[in-house]
Structure 1
Amino acid sequence: MDNNKTIDRVLEFAAKFQANIYLDSISKGLMGTLPITMIGSIALLLAVLPIEPWTNFIASIGVTPYLLAASTVTTSCLSIYAAFLIGYRLAHHLQVDEIPGGLISLFAFFIATPLTEGALTMSYMGAQGLFTALIASLLATRIYAALMKCDALKIKMPPSVPGMIAATFSTMIPAILVGLIFIAIAVIFSYTPWGSFAEMIYSIVATPLMNVGGSIWSLVLIVLVQMILWFFGIHGSLVVGTVVSAVYMPMALENMELYAAGTPASELPHILGNTFYSLYAGIGGAGGTLSLLIVMFLFAKAKQNKELAKLAGIPGLFVINEPIVFGYPLILNPIMAIPFILTPIVQLLIPYFATVMGLIPPLTGVQVPFGLPVVINGFMGGGWTAALMQIIDIAVGCLIWFPFFKISDAQMYKEEMGESMEEIAEEYEEKAQKVQEA
């Protein structure tokens, strides 16, 4: 009974965590930046592709500066896009107009950043300003939504005025008040040792979180929580996705900005990042299930496992593992719990220590879209060394899954054989009965 209560509390906490509107707004807002980051990533790859004839060709026709510019106005300005999208998402949750919510959030982010000779500091438009964008967006949109609930602050237009114009006027006073509040915040912080709200956030919030997140054991803990939640049937990847995006994306983007500026991959400062997590934390999906599918395809005796390997194999290559997770099933399966939880952790540690030892360079931070086939996504995210590391990880995953799968498969095979013998006996009895009747 006590165990059931503990499990219920864990599930309840995870459900509340996943349903939190602020975390959901951050998660979906950052997810919404994916098209922009993909444009920048592809442009950067094309600009610095380590094939000399190619780089000479694009340089000779004058394309290189535009590819690098595409990277600059996307990944190096990611905080701008994130500020708008997070405000937009939170405004939707709070049931106020989304576009004003996004625009006010963007203004709050801009006014919170430090000024350099009267102009915005561009370094805060990218990875360095991402935490400021998150916090400023949430605060500005929350204040705006609270003010919008007050009818006395709304300018009401006559019924003859078009609805779009009337809606714009109704948001005017709340928007102005939010703007004045953040202008006041910016002025107050200009007299502090930090010099700006953004500098304070970067010093007190962003830097400690990135320092803690820079430890491999922090990421291992995140993956452990993720897999425990998966074991109980909760989509753990969604629950921890907000933390991974907020803490690890700035590290990847910083690597990417330095790489675009000419820093060699071997000298990039961060080993970890959201790209590192997406490429190695469970290859083929949570639990490293691509390895399980390979073992299942090669060694399964039970007919149901052979069929499942055929059905789930192609989706597994494209990092879609729900067919194997729920079809095997792995949820609440005590025999498979150890490899299900252990495999993605081992698959993280191998490339991490390989990078620490200098065997492979750090990832450049290029953002890889979800759904690319395994190994191809590794090549895009880190070149042939990352692709090779994924292959090694898959092989190690097969070794982890093999003994546990053999136990489970043998049990299923015995059950199938028992059912087959019963069917043969029933068929024999039916034939014997027909002969006697004849």
Structure 2
Amino acid sequence: MKFLEEKFVPLAARIGSQRHLVAIRDAFVVIMPVTIVGAIAVLINNIQGVFAKNGLNIVSIQEGYTNFIKTTGIQDVMTAVNKGSINMMAVLLVVTLGYQMAKGLNGDGIATSVVGLTCYLGLAPAVQTLTNSYKWAEEATNVDVLTADVASGGLAANKLDSGGMFVGMILTMIVSEIFVRLSRNDKLKITLPDGVPPAVAGSFSVLIPAIITVILVVATGVYIDKLSGMDLWTIVQKFVSAPLNSVADTLGTAVLVYFLINFLWVFGLHGANIVGSVTTPIFTPLLLENTQAYEAGKTGTEIPNVVHGVGVFSVIGGSGSTLGLIIAVLIFGKVQAERTVIGISIAPGLFEINEPVIFGVPIVMNPVYMLPFIAGPTILAALSYILMDMGIIERVCLSAPWVTPPILYQFLATGGGIKAAIFTAIEIVGLTVLWMPFVMISNKQNASKE
């Protein structure tokens, strides 16, 4: 325990406060509402799949709902909402990450966002228009046409959505580091008279740094493409995204992530923020890929990814899955101080907010409650991964609001998964049983203090 407190915990705290990871985490937090809006739009357009033949088998409801959203125009509205949110995730991330990076460097957030977006869009490969006489192999399913004489000037959608998020993160961090540092150089600033409006003066102040940054970064990207024959998106997908995803979407990763989150919490560190700063950039594209598959009508194991959805089933009532503790104390608890804290924590706990429990019971540095706090979510992470991987419960494909109460949350996140909702109800019972003996131990230990 002493070794962990002196060596591991400080290291984890430093990782959690590393400015690039903090900027990425905060950028994702900013775009979270838009992600949820897009997920809701996808859900509204596809929720009727619950009543399909391979679901509840009430085809009349499925067909009636589909006809309703088509004739009323709701489907078109939701499609447009999705197009501007989930289908633009890379663009939104570039803007918010540029701002957060600049904030960490004490730079101009708006200017950094604009410069980062300029570089990103400037390097995005153009969509090409094919002539009627163009032919390719019959077995080809995806053809990239790079001939400049047929370029339409548009941008491919898969360079703007989740497929471009890794490129967006890497490129924006590089642009931010260069631009903010150049902006600090007084020799590169153009100073205008005092009578000039502040907005105009501010623009001219960063004009030269912006010119240098954009030309330098875009030129580098263009020449990399010319020399390697691969654009940045292809390079990142081949050497970064694919290796990370292959390692990330495993049972071992799921167990390790949720063990670390709760292990850090028992030492008073915000485990979700620390671990999330590393996992969010990897897991978010996996979730968005599942959203696209769900929107395309895929179900079950046709939904490609598993690991990102483990958190939906492993955080029941907040980190540590403390809803089980709340119920166990209400039924078996005899320590008045604990019952008082739990009474206050019921409503927040139903909405996944459990700081009152963690710091009020407390869980932090509590040798009795540390074990179930760590073990509960870790077991659920392993179990839910296995069940989703085998297709026994539905896979998570939508970003539901994290404050949604349990069972409803899992139902929405899986696009109307009945089996997922039932599994969550079973989880709550199991968590209560897990916490029960530790509540009784706490009763005995505190009996003399009451």
Q: Using structure 2 for the length normalisation, give the TM-score.
A: 0.87
Give the corresponding residue for 1:204: 239
Q: Is the 8 A contact 2:311 2:381 kept in 1?
A: no
Which position in structure 2 is the counterpart of 1:27? 25
Aligned-pair identity in percent equals 29
- 1:384-432: CA deviation from partner (whole Å, max 9, x where unpaired): 322222212222212221222211122212431xxxxxxxxxxxxxxxx
Contact kept? 1:113, 1:199, Cα under 8 Å:
no
1:51-70 aligned at under 5 Å gives the runs: 51-52=61-62, 53-70=64-81
Separation (CA, whole Å) in 2 of partners of 1:291 and 1:159: 63
Q: Show the 5 A alignment for 1:115-130.
A: 115-117=126-128, 118-130=153-165
The answer to which of 302-311 and 281-290 deviates more is: 302-311
**How far is 1:139 from its partner?**
0.5
Assess if the C-alpha contact under 8 Å between 1:18 and 1:24 holds in 2: yes
| 1:116 CA displacement | 3.0
C-alpha deviation, 1:6, in angstroms: 4.5
What is the CA distance between 1:131 and its match in structure 2? 0.7
Match of 1:432 in 2: none
- Counterpart of 1:76? 87
Indicate the residue corresponding to 1:279 in structure 2: 312
- In structure 1, which of residues 408, 411, 424 is the aligned counterpart of residue 445 of structure 2? 411
Q: In the TM superposition, what is the alpha-carbon distance from 1:38 to its structure 2 partner?
A: 1.6
Distance 2:104 2:382 in 1: 38
- TM-score, with length taken from structure 1: 0.90
Q: Where does residue 16 of structure 1 map in the other structure? A: 14
Instruction: Return the offset for 1:62.
Output: 2.9
For the Cα contact (< 8 Å) 2:40–2:400, is it kept in 1? no
**Cα pair 2:251 2:386 within 8 Å, conserved:** no
* Structure 1 unaligned residues grouped into runs of 5+: 417-438
Q: Does structure 1 conserve the Cα–Cα contact (< 8 Å) formed by 2:345 and 2:356?
A: yes
Listed as ranges, the matches of 1:365-404 within 5 Å are 366-382=398-414, 383=416, 384-404=418-438
Equivalent residue pairs, number: 411
Residue 327 of structure 2 is aligned to residue 297 of structure 1: no
Displacement after TM superposition at 1:192 (Å): 4.1
> In structure 1, what residue type is equivalent to 2:436?
F
CA distance in 1, matches of 2:227, 2:154: 19
Rounded to whole Å, the distance in 2 between the matches of 1:313 and 1:244 is: 29
Equivalent residue for 1:321, pick from 354, 370, 373: 354
CA distance in 2, matches of 1:193, 1:405: 62
Structure 1 partner of 2:372: 339
- Which of these residues, 262, 265, 285, is aligned with residue 250 of structure 1? 285
Quote the residue 1:162 is aligned against.
197
Distance in 1 (CA, whole Å) between partners of 2:312 and 2:245 is 20
Moved over 6 A (4+): none
Letter in 2 for 1:396: G
The DSSP-based 3-state class of the residue aligned with 1:116 is strand
Question: What does the per-residue CA deviation read over 1:11-70, in whole Å, with 9 as the maximum and x for residues that have no partner?
Answer: 322222222221111001011111211221111111112152222211122331331232
Q: What is the CA-CA distance between 1:194 and the residue it aligns to? A: 5.2
Secondary structure in structure 1 of the residue aligned to 2:411: helix
Deviation at 1:193, TM superposition (A): 4.1
Q: 1:180 aligns with which of 198, 206, 215?
A: 215
- Structure 1 residues 359 and 6, CA, compared in 2 at 3 Å: closer, same or farther? closer
In the alignment, which residue of structure 2 is the partner of 1:152?
187
Paired amino acid for 1:87: G
Q: Kindly state the Cα deviation for residue 233 of structure 1 after the two structures are TM-superposed.
A: 0.8
Matched AA of 1:116: V
**Offset at residue 345 of structure 1 (A):** 0.8
Residues 111, 182 of structure 1: 8 Å contact kept: no
Contact 1:44-1:67 at 8 Å conserved across structures: yes
Q: Which has the higher helix share?
A: 1
Distance 1:100 1:36, change over 3 A: same
Amino acid at match of 2:409: N
